[in-house]
Amino acid sequence: MLGLMQDRPLLISSILEHAARNHGGAKIVSARPNGSLVRHTWPQVAARAAQLAHALTARGVKQGERIATLAWNEHRHLEVYYGVSSMGAVLHTVNPRLFPDQIAFILKDAADTHLFVDPTLMKGAEALADHLPGSLRTIVVMGTEAEIPDPCPLRGRFEVVAQESLIAGQPGHFDWPELDERSASSLCYTSGTTGDPKGVLYSHRSTVIHGISVLQKDVFNIGAEDVVMPVVPMFHVNGWGIPYAAAMAGASLVMPGPKLDPASLHRLFEEEGVTFSAGVPTIWTALLQWLRADPSRRFRHPPRLVVGGTALPTPINAGFLKEYGINIRHAWGMTELSPLGTANARLPQNADWDADRFLDYARKQGRALFGIELRVRDGEGKEIPHDGVAFGELEVRGPWVAKQYFNRPGDPAFTGDGWFRTGDVVTVDELGCIEIVDRAKDVIKSGGEWISSITLENLILGHPAVAQAAVIGIHHSKWDERPLLLIVPKPGTSPTPQDILGYYEGKVAKWWIPDQVEFVDSLPLTATGKLWKADLKRTYRDRSAG
Ligand code: ADP
């Protein structure tokens, strides 16, 4: 027997209409590169998104057509987010920090017809001119006519138009189509640290359900009173769902533009009264260092912060909590999960823990959000015990998890029985909390046993002379692989290998301790700011540990 409830589709247009209808009082603030602020409201965002949809419809853009953006977190990007998906076209956000050949690959794979480009990124787009796909018709500069570079080498090959001219004179209301909720809404590529980037094609349904889920108390905990600042870029997996979640809640939204330095962010936190923000550890690390440099730098109202994307170093978390009263919540996700999968919120079982125990536990990535199922299997396919010690590869399924990649059917990341293999190696403890101990491809296989490169990295970051660390496996004739430790020393220090390796004594099993240490000036990072281990492994390909 079927239920007798209305079957209204879950659509992105309904998120925007809800915010515009019910939350006209919230502010939408967008920082320009020069620091000046543009202010709108949800009804204005809705009107400008409608104008954009009319303009694109007039140019023949059809449902399902891919529309790319190379843009920062700013109001015109938000308008493209909503206008494009709501009309039934597909928003394709591209990370401007990727290598040019990756961007060219992605645009070609998606067969985008329009490319929206922030004026500050036009030079990059011009450099790509010879590699832009044949499908591309129009480049929209996200500003006024005056912001189109003169001369503009892309003109002639493509139509080049300013976003303000495009929408000028268009009606501020659009009768959004009642789409099938399973229709594609947006497209985002993995950063391709191993091999070509892979596209994940989200649906209206997956986006709406993910957005509702991240609002929960134990995830982002956002309500209408909040002033939300996504520092995580809107080109990075739907800005972790914040552009949608904020509108659902009717919260205010502060978009920091291209300038993510600590002083610029702190100003927005203070002047706009930001209550919630989310970003990767590098952002919060830089902010903490900047705050500490001058005791007068404080927060009048400490915001709640969420961190994800890579592991959160405990000293950063401890610094924020003990010195500034700021709680950082650790979350885990990935492109294939829209992106949120787990968050590390408190439980009644740990109510009596002191601050240090909480801080130590906060390094874990958290428990599954409702809707996400986790399965962890060892190398033989057996599910591991939930004891916080055994580890295996994490698999997930749920209504906002990809079931295949765009243009790439049959990828082995998707199992025959409907799970997605994350490539993350995790432990699960008695409370169901996962901790990532490595990427499957980075774990060091020493004599048939696994050594977690991430555990070794995190531990050595506690050494007073270590600024950055990486551990990779190098060849060993007897053990197959052994760990090599790469260290960027803190300025003004000159630690010795004995000094560094001695730090591990008593903290890990003897056979985990790396055999060699190498001191380097810097470590390579991917376009999303993560340690680029594939590059390091290439560099040390011929190194042997014995
Ligand atoms: P890519 O895999 O291309 O870097 P994603 O942005 O999808 O792109 O990254 C997902 C991966 O990032 C995860 O599989 C995991 O390895 C890592 N990651 C994400 N969040 C965390 C976290 N909180 N702690 C540790 N690693 C994380």
- Residue 211 has what pLDDT? 98
In this prediction, residue 337 carries a pLDDT of: 98
- Structure confidence at residue 439 (pLDDT): 87
CATH class entry, domain 374-439: mainly beta
Phi, psi angles (nearest 5°) of residue 347:
-125, 155
| Alpha carbon distance 470, 518 (integer Å) | 10
| pLDDT score recorded for residue 477 | 87
pLDDT at 380: 83
Q: Is the pLDDT of residue 334 over 90?
A: yes
E strand residue ranges, 447-507: 449-451, 466-476, 480-489
Does the pLDDT of residue 361 top 80, yes or no?
Answer: yes
User: What number of CA atoms fall less than 13 Å from residue 76's CA on the CB side?
Assistant: 22
Confidence of residue 311 (pLDDT cuts 50, 70, 90): confident
Q: Is 204 in the pocket of ligand 1 (CB under 6 A)?
A: no
Ligand 1 close to Cβ of residue 94 (< 6 A): no
Q: Where residue 191 falls among pLDDT bands split at 50, 70, 90?
A: confident
Between CA 428 and CA 543 the distance in angstroms is 34
For the chain, give the mean pLDDT.
Answer: 95
Separation of 424 CA from ligand 1 center, angstroms?
8
Distance 89 CA to ligand 1 centre (A): 28
Whether the pLDDT of residue 192 is over 70: the answer is no
Amino acid (1-letter code) at residue 457: E
pLDDT(448) > 90? no
Compute the distance between CA of residue 80 and CA of residue 66 in angstroms, rounded to an integer. Answer: 12
Q: What is the pLDDT of residue 196?
A: 81
pLDDT tens track for 224-245: 999 999 999 999 999 999 999 9
Predicted confidence (pLDDT) per residue in 85-123, tens digit: 999 999 999 999 888 888 999 999 999 999 999 999 999
Percent above pLDDT 70 for the chain: 99
pLDDT digits (tens, 9 = 90+) for 151-165: 999 998 999 999 999
Q: Based on the residue annotation, tell me whether 490 is a catalytic residue of this protein.
A: no
**How many Cβ atoms are within 10 Å of 494's Cβ, its own excluded?**
9
The answer, yes or no, to whether the previous bond of 339 is cis (omega within 30 of 0) is yes
Predicted pLDDT of residue 193: 61
| Cβ neighbours of residue 382 closer than 8 Å, sequence gap 6 or more | none
Average pLDDT over residues 518-545: 89
**CA-to-CA distance for 346 and 328, rounded, in angstroms?**
12
Q: Is 528 in the pocket of ligand 1 (CB under 6 A)?
A: yes
What is the pLDDT confidence band of residue 194, given thresholds at 50, 70 and 90? low
Ligand 1: centre distance to CA 310 (Å):
6
Task: Report the alpha-carbon distance of residue 382 to residue 175 in Å, rounded.
Answer: 52
d(CA 490, CA 466): 5
Query: Is 80 exceeded by the pLDDT of residue 269?
Result: yes
Q: Which DSSP symbol is given to 527?
A: T
Least Cα distance to 184 among 404, 413, 416, 17 occurs for 404
Is the domain spanning 17-264 CATH 3.20.80.10? The answer is no
Assign domain 444-539 to its CATH architecture: 2-Layer Sandwich (3.30)
**374-439 and 444-539 share one CATH topology?**
no
Q: Residue 298 above 90 pLDDT? A: yes
Active site residue 450: yes
Take atom 26 of ligand 1 and give the residue whose Cα is closest: 310
Mean per-residue pLDDT, 401-419: 96
Nearest CA to ligand 1 atom 11: 334
Q: Which of 65, 164, 181, 336 is catalytic?
A: 336
Q: β-strand 66-70 against 114-117: which pairing, if any?
A: parallel
Token output for 177: 């189509």
Q: Would you say the CB of residue 330 lies under 6 angstroms from ligand 1?
A: yes
pLDDT band at 61 (very low <50, low <70, confident <90, very high): very high
The ranges assigned to domains in the chain are 17-264, 374-439, 444-539
**For the chain, what's the residue count?**
546
Alpha-carbon gap, residue 91 to 151, rounded angstroms = 28
